[in-house]
């Protein structure tokens, strides 16, 4: 899906897409960014990179000095190649390594760590401030970019989300049972919504989309049209005030 003629109301805007695991936010955000010719920022990937770093350095999250030392090794950039958003850590492609079941389990305590969140939120905000960006994650609408021009919240049934994750694992040759995936999603949902810092929640001014019965193409189109409607309404209101 290539960028094409885009209405002027999108110029310089910030769009955030939040939601739980398996809601389709990563694929939707990536394809929407392509369609708009925007930068795509996967905030969840940054926490996964820190989880991978912590595993490699055997970091104890309870030790502030170890965490501070760990974050000095955080040097991340993204490159879009062949339809895949590649994640690089110190020029090492870790795209596959941060999407394993092991990292799935390690990332929740990393994301709940106040010091790590403060560091990564600042990093994410710096990259979003120029606009023309689609961010996705769990707190992009509420913490990272609370003043985003468009806020989207995606959700789906537990069964649909588990099935999507199963297909994702199978595509990488990583065999997992549906029961195990469902259990892990429930665990992550609880951890994400109950953590003290930056919990997953739907912002009051977010547009909510249930993706349970939507194809990826339908999700992207619906989010695009909702974003266009929101930005057009904002532009109209602004012109009237002037």
pLDDT (tens digit per residue) in 18-46: 999 899 999 999 999 999 999 999 999 99
Note the CATH number of domain 13-226. Answer: 3.40.50.300
**Residue 168: band (very low, low, confident or very high) from pLDDT cuts 50, 70, 90:** confident
**What's residue 235's pLDDT?**
87
d(CA 34, CA 164): 22
Query: Residue 50 corresponds to which tokens in the numbers above?
Result: 């820190």
**Residue 92 contacts by C-beta under 8 Å, 6 or more apart in sequence?**
none
**What's residue 2's pLDDT?**
44
Query: Residue 85 corresponds to which tokens in the numbers above?
Result: 């958003």
Q: What is the pLDDT of residues 78-109, one digit of tens each?
A: 988 877 889 999 999 999 999 998 998 899 99
220 has a pLDDT exceeding 80:
yes
Every domain of the chain and the residues it spans: 13-226
**Picking from 18-27, 106-115, 144-153, 165-174, which range would have the lowest pLDDT averaged per residue?**
165-174
**What's residue 242's pLDDT?**
60
Model pTM above 0.75: yes
- Residues 208-230 have a mean pLDDT of 95
d(CA 99, CA 129): 27
* DSSP type of residue 206: P
**Residue 171: band (very low, low, confident or very high) from pLDDT cuts 50, 70, 90:** confident
Q: What share of the chain in percent tops pLDDT 70?
A: 97
Buried b (16+ CB within 10 A) or exposed e, 149-187: bbbbbbbbeeebbbbbbbebbeeeeeebeeeebbebbee
**What's residue 239's pLDDT?**
66
Strands of 49-132, DSSP E: 76-81, 84-89, 92-93
Q: What is the pLDDT of residues 178-212, one digit of tens each?
A: 999 999 999 989 988 998 888 999 999 999 999 99
């Amino acid at each position: 899906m290539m960028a094409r003629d885009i209405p002027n109301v999108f110029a310089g805007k910030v769009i955030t897409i939040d939601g739980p695991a398996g809601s389709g936010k990563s694929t939707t955000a990536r394809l929407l960014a392509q369609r708009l010719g925007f930068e795509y920022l996967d905030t969840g990937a940054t926490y996964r990179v820190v989880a991978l770093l912590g595993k490699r350095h055997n970091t104890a999250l309870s030790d502030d000095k170890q965490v501070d030392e760990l974050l000095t090794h955080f040097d991340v950039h993204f490159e879009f190649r062949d339809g895949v958003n590649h994640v690089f850590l110190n020029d090492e492609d870790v795209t596959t390594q941060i999407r394993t079941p092991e990292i799935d389990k390690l990332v929740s305590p990393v994301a709940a760590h106040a010091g790590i969140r403060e560091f990564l939120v600042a990093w994410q905000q710096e990259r979003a401030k120029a606009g023309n960006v689609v961010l996705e994650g769990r707190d992009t609408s509420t913490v990272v970019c609370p003043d985003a021009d468009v806020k989207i919240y995606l959700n789906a049934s537990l069964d649909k989300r588990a099935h999507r994750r199963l297909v994702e694992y199978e595509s990488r040759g990583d065999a997992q049972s549906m029961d195990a995936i469902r259990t892990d999603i429930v665990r992550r949902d609880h951890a994400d919504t109950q953590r003290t810092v930056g919990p997953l929640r739907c912002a009051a001014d977010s547009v909510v989309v249930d993706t349970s019965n939507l194809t990826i193409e339908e999700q992207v189109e619906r989010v695009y049209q909702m974003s266009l409607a929101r930005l057009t309404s904002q532009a109209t209101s602004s012109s009237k005030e002037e």
